[in-house]
Amino acid sequence: MSTQADSKPWTVPALVEAKRAGRKLVMLTAYDAGFARAMDAAGVDLVLVGDSLGMVVQGHDSTLPVTVADIAYHTAAVARGLKRALLVADLPFQSDATPERALDAAIALLQAGAEMVKLEGAGHKLEVIRFLAERDIPVCAHLGLTPQSVLKFGGYKVQGRDAAAAARLRADAQAVAQAGAALLVLECVPSPLAAEVTAALAIPTIGIGAGPGCDGQVLVLHDLLGLDSGHRRPRFVKDFLAQGGSVAGAIAAYAQAVRDGSFPDDAHSYAS
């Protein structure tokens, strides 16, 4: 089942309507026009130009070297491939350190074709979210494992596992929504906690390693296609190319699995 009439472009208000209607949101990362076109044709609802491009496209060990110019370049390419999916672009490392820097970066990304910007964290980022939202820039928040904090975390680890961390995540999720975020990505969070956060919020949640209880799912394109990233393969990654038989088939199989609730299953989630 598609989440909107296939010809109708997604809008930010339509995301909340989808959540209210109980329709799952299908999201993938893309970095160029060709894959973006394939995702649009397969009925993917949201496309993210993620700073994961630092790892999967540029070959770095983290997302930290990615610049606003990098994201703007790939956003412009992806935008040319989309007719229907909503285009989200990442604010890269420290481009959102202050509200003013974030506004400059967000303007560059929206002018390149993005319709929403994503930023990691809560804390001082709440002021940034509020500053952008008040200026009519749609914001997607990102909590749980926030890869730009890899140095602080000491690696890519599941977040929210103990009671204190879970309470902090619940509070942060409420805070980013109150600050004006229109969407929330939850990365590497135990499934019961992600489901609880999802039920408590009016805005949709998009999970990656956060279990089936989120309002939608996102995967990195290279992971969906089973490409070896040169890094340890996280538990939530699934190769849909094997099942789909072609790039278009893999994207369609992923979209179908998200919509019918068969992905992610327990084998691709964290119970605790």
Interacting residues with ligand KIV (CB under 6 A): 29, 48, 50-52, 90, 185, 187, 208, 218, 220
Q: Nearest-5° angle of CA 139, CA 141, CA 145?
A: 155
- CB of residue 50 to ligand KIV, shortest distance in Å: 2
Q: Which residue is nearest to ligand KIV (CB)?
A: 50
In the complex, what is the shortest distance from the CB of residue 222 to ligand KIV, in angstroms, rounded to a whole number? 10
**Which residue number, 50 or 180, has a Cβ lying nearer to ligand KIV?**
50
Question: Given the complex with ligand KIV, which of 76 and 237 has the nearer CB atom?
Answer: 237
CB 5, min distance to ligand KIV, A? 26
Q: What is the 3-state secondary structure (H, E, C) of the chain?
A: CCCCCCCCCCCHHHHHHHHHHCCCEEEEECCCHHHHHHHHHCCCCEEEECCCHHHHCCCCCCCCCCCHHHHHHHHHHHHHHCCCCEEEEECCCCCCCCHHHHHHHHHHHHHCCCCEEEEECCCCHHHHHHHHHHCCCCEEEEEECCHHHHHHHCCCCCCCCCHHHHHHHHHHHHHHHHHCCCEEEEECCCHHHHHHHHHHCCCCEEEECCCCCCCEEEECHHHHCCCCCCCCCCCCCCCCHHHHCCHHHHHHHHHHHHHCCCCCCHHHCCCC
Q: Of 17, 100, 127, 187, which one is the catalytic site residue? A: 187
Nearer to ligand KIV, 162 or 231 (CB): 231
Residue closer to ligand KIV, measured from CB, 208 or 257: 208
Whether 187 is catalytic: yes
Q: What's the Cα-to-Cα distance from 124 to each of 40, 110, 121, rounded to whole Å?
A: 35, 23, 8
Q: Is the Cβ of residue 52 or residue 95 nearer to ligand KIV in the bound state?
A: 52
Shortest distance, position 253 Cβ to ligand KIV, whole Å = 19
Shortest distance, CB of residue 209 to ligand KIV, whole angstroms? 9
Give least dist CB 97 to ligand KIV, A: 18
Residue closer to ligand KIV by CB (options 102, 218) is 218
Q: What's the burial of 235, exposed, middle or buried (CB within 10 Å: 0-12/13-18/19+)?
A: middle
User: Which residues are identified as catalytic?
Assistant: 187
